[in-house]
Amino acid sequence: NAGVTQTPKFQVLKTGQSMTLQCAQDMNHNSMYWYRQDPGMGLRLIYYSASEGTTDKGEVPNGYNVSRLNKREFSLRLESAAPSQTSVYFCASRGTGEETQYFGPGTRLLVL
């Protein structure tokens, strides 16, 4: 049971480049989340998907888009990366009726 997987583990981008962060879960969870973690800021919610086919903005959605491709997969896209998007990105999932989120190992992104 892999739980929540994220790819890539590490990425370096130049300002203005685009990329997609991938997330998949094998726990049949309905809800999925994208967070970013920055020093002194904790975990901040970027976007979430309460169920397949729905997405909603979190606290810091600007500069990002998401796609809930199916129940398993939830991707995060940066259309034009900026240095302010340098961060560690975590994907999480949660089952219906559960309060606990399960996190992936993270993607470390550096935008130069």
Partner 1 sequence: DQQVKQNSPSLSVQEGRISILNCDYTNSMFDYFLWYKKYPAEGPTFLISISSIKDKNEDGRFTVFLNKSAKHLSLHIVPSQPGDSAVYFCAASGAGTYKYIFGTGTRLKVLA
* 25 is a contact residue toward partner 1 (CB under 8 A): no
* 100 is a contact residue toward partner 1 (CB under 8 A): yes
SS3 102: strand
The stretch near partner 1 (CB under 8 A) out of 13-21, 69-77, 79-87, 89-97 is: 89-97
- DSSP letters along 44-83, please? EEEEEESSTT--EE-S--TT-EEEE-SSSBEEEEESS--G
Rounded CA separation 61/47 (Å):
6
* 95 is a contact residue toward partner 1 (CB under 8 A): no
List residues binding partner 1 (CB under 8 A). 4, 31, 33, 35, 40-45, 48, 50, 56, 58-59, 90, 92, 94, 99-106
